Amino acid sequence: MKVDKNSMLLYVVTDRTWLNGNKLENQVEEIIKTGATFIQLREKELDFGSFVREGKIVKEITDKYNIPFVINDNIDVALAVDADGVHIGQNDRNSRDVRMLIGKDKILGVSVETVEQAILAESQGADYLGVGAVFSTSTKEDAADVPLETLRTICSSVSIPVVAIGGINANNLLQLKGSGVNGVAVISAIFAKPDVASATRELLLLAKDLIK
């Protein structure tokens, strides 16, 4: 499976912090059913075996709804799960090396903060870019805010899809209008809400307005 700009519209990154006894796979399915167009499985604490088991369960769901599914950072888990691809940051392996490891048919997403990083990532085989943090975020406290002008320049400098990430919620999402992004990536704006389905529906409508 490859990505296009439409799959970037509402890109959801998982976070088990707010599950409150719910199963992650149930939350993921509810989110997909109500509008998510892409799922990234992000786990910082799970051991390899647990991560793989969870990844396989989530992949069954994303396959059922035919939407892209990538693993955050962990290439070994992505390959073990046979995920659609992997998303890496600037502190991870070189994009070209990752492309060689996962093969030409897997999705490669890369986090960038500058125009230079964006152009390099595309040249090294990235299928899409995650640009941020566009707003302050508690999920990644060491991430610097990317100015709107930089986001706009990145979008006009590459030919691959771009998704904005970092601190995005229903209150600030439309501040990105006119930037050229193909969608938004969210975490707590959905998972921290008591009703993930309602939150997803609201964000989907806003995302559609954003890219008009």
Which residues belong to the active site? 42, 111, 140
How far apart CA 146 and CA 90 sit, in angstroms, is 14
Compute CA distances 102 → 7, 26, 87, whole Å. 20, 28, 11
H or E, element range at 171: none
> 């990532």: which residue's tokens?
121
CB count in 10 Å sphere of residue 105: 9
Instruction: Pick the closest to residue 192 from 22, 57, 46, 8 (CA basis).
Output: 22
SS (H, E, C) 90-140: CCCCCHHHHHHHHCCCCEEEEEECCHHHHHHHHHCCCCEEEECCCCCCCCC
In this structure, are residues 117 and 90 in contact, taking their beta carbons and an 8 Å threshold? yes
Per DSSP, the three-state class of 74 is coil
Chain-centre distance for alpha carbon 117: 17
How far apart CA 164 and CA 167 sit, in angstroms, is 10
